[in-house]
Amino acid sequence: MGSRDPLDQADLTRRAGERWARVQVVAETGSTNADLLHDETAPDRSVLVAEVQTAGRGRFDRTWTSPSGAGLTLSVLVRPTVLMSGWGWLPLLAGVAVAEAVSEVAPQLEVALKWPNDLLLARAGGLPGKAAGILVQSAEDAVVIGIGLNVSTSADELAVPGATSLALCGAEVDRADLAEVLLRRLDARYAQWADCNGDAEAAGLAMAYRELCATIGSDVSVATGGTELVGSAVDVDPAGRLVVDVEGELHAVAAGDVHHIRAAGR
Q: Return residues touching ligand BTN (CB under 6 A).
A: 31-33, 53, 56-59, 62, 64, 73-75, 133-135, 146-148
φ and ψ at residue 46, rounded to 5 degrees:
-95, 150
Cβ atoms within 10 A of the Cβ of 63, count?
12
Cβ 130 to ligand BTN, closest distance in Å?
7
| Separate counts of helices (H) and strands (E) for the chain | 5, 12
Nearer to ligand BTN, 45 or 203 (CB): 45
Nearer to ligand BTN, 57 or 184 (CB): 57
Rg (CA), the chain: 18
Nearer to ligand BTN, 64 or 193 (CB): 64
Q: How far apart are CA 183 and CA 217, in angstroms?
A: 30
Cβ 195 to ligand BTN, closest distance in Å?
26
Cβ 62 to ligand BTN, closest distance in Å?
5
In the bound complex, which residue of the shown chain has the CB atom lying closest to ligand BTN?
Answer: 133
Angle between helices 205-212 and 90-105 in degrees, nearest 10: 60
Cβ 94 to ligand BTN, closest distance in Å?
10
Nearer to ligand BTN, 75 or 215 (CB): 75
Cβ 165 to ligand BTN, closest distance in Å?
14
Burial of 141 (C-beta count, 10 Å sphere; 0-12/13-18/19+): exposed
Nearer to ligand BTN, 157 or 199 (CB): 157
| Cα separation values, 41 from 21, 46, 210, Å | 12, 10, 36
